[in-house]
Amino acid sequence: MPHILNGKKVAQKLKENLKIEIENIKLKFNRVPGLAVVQVGNVAASSVYVKAKTKAAKEVGINVFDHHLEETIKQSELINLINELNDNKDVDGILVQLPLPKTINEDLVLNSIKPEKDADGFHPLNVGKLSISTTNNENLLIPCTPYGCLLLLRELNINLVGKNAVVIGRSNIVGKPMAQLLLKESCTVTIVHSKTLDIENICKKADILIAAIGKPEFIKKDWVKEGAIIIDVGINRVEINKEKSKLVGDVLFSDVEDKVSAITPVPGGVGPMTIGCLLRNTTIACKKNNKN
């Protein structure tokens, strides 16, 4: 049986530590961290994520400023709201849930968030800081899902130095920052994507395989090295029948479980860690803002 990396449990511990940290912030500065959560439109998956993020933030003592906007909102109006949040002293972190409607330029919106309030770590300045940083990650605002994956890997207490890590997917949200984080751990990192030739053979050489492609149960055991560690970032809803659906990852768990040494389940693996890391970023941003 492989080691099942229980993200729910690790995220709970992270949240308990943040709760204590937030109590200390309150004692010292007489205020708690504030997180603005901006959702545009009603994409079903976004509504689920936003609800879970809001609930978790409140649980650890973060003040949530909820902004649910119409799908038809103009780009300029959205940027005006972000500018207001940038100037609001009670707001330490700003999260704009993606994807945005096609009428809105996502880059422009993300770039309008003050880098110090960038709860997702998506601003070019924070992306750049992650890419050139050689020290620990303590004070960096790092994209939440890949940082959550790294924290899960650390749970295994293994030496990551020199390990062959293959990241499947090259998104700005997961693939690229994941590669940067693994590189900082001195892994040998390969990113593969939809245009990669002979992707299966590259994956087969991975000691650590990070799957972030968004294709339900796409990865089977013939892509996986014996004893590999698998981090499954996929959260795909699939129909069981007309009335019922379930969540599955990018990896066919039942096919690979006898071959791997450790794996994250879906649900209950990476998902809760993404939320935990958002709360971490908000708390870091608050501590920095209180010093200024």
The residues that are catalytic are: 53, 97, 120
Q: Mark the segment that binds ligand GUN (CB under 6 A) among 71-79, 90-98, 233-241, 242-250.
A: 90-98
Touching ligand GUN, residues 93-122 (CB under 6 A): 95-98, 120
Q: Going by C-beta distance under 8 Å and a sequence separation of 6 or more, which residues neighbour residue 217?
A: 236, 238, 248, 249, 250, 251, 252, 253
- The whole-angstrom separation of Cα 68 and Cα 158 is 42
Instruction: Give me the least distance between CB of 120 and ligand GUN, in Å please.
Output: 5
Nearer to ligand GUN, 122 or 223 (CB): 122
For tokens 């709760």, what's the residue? 19
In sequence order, which residues have a C-beta less than 8 Å from that of residue 191 and are 6 or more positions away? Answer: 166, 167, 169, 170, 175, 176, 179
In the stretch 126-155, what mask flags binding to ligand GUN with x, by CB under 6 A?
Answer: ------------------xx----------
Using CB positions, name the residue nearest to ligand GUN.
98
Angstrom distance (rounded) from CA 117 to CA 277? 14
Stretch that binds ligand GUN, among 70-78, 89-97, 219-227, 236-244 (CB under 6 A): 89-97
Query: CB of residue 121 vs ligand GUN: minimum separation in angstroms?
Result: 9
Rank residues 61 and 146 by Cβ distance to ligand GUN and give the closer one.
Answer: 146
Nearest CB to ligand GUN, comparing residues 50 and 202: 50
Number of residues that bind ligand GUN (CB under 6 A): 9
Give the Cα separation of 219 and 255 in Å (integer): 9
Find the shortest distance in angstroms from Cβ 31 to ligand GUN: 24
Of 214 and 265, which has the nearer Cβ to ligand GUN?
A: 214
DSSP alpha helix (H) spans, 67-135? 75-87, 106-112, 124-132
171 vs 289 by CB, closer to ligand GUN: 171
Sequence-ordered list of residues with C-beta below 8 angstroms from that of 116, at least 6 positions apart, any chain: 285, 288, 289
Min dist CB 251 to ligand GUN, Å, is 18
Residues in 166-225 at the binding interface with ligand GUN, rule: CB under 6 A: 173
Rounded to the nearest whole angstrom, what is the least distance from the CB of residue 92 to ligand GUN in the complex?
16
**Residue labelled with tokens 């998956």:** 45
Do 225 and 185 contact (CB within 8 A), yes or no?
Answer: no
Strands 93-96 and 34-40: parallel
Is 243:114 a contact under the CB 8 Å cutoff? no
The DSSP bridge pattern shows strands 63-69 and 93-96 to be unpaired
Q: Give yes or no for residue 251 binding ligand GUN (CB under 6 A).
A: no
Q: Decide if residue 274 touches ligand GUN (CB under 6 A).
A: yes
**Residues of the shown chain interacting with ligand GUN in the complex, contacts defined by CB under 6 A:** 95-98, 120, 144-145, 173, 274
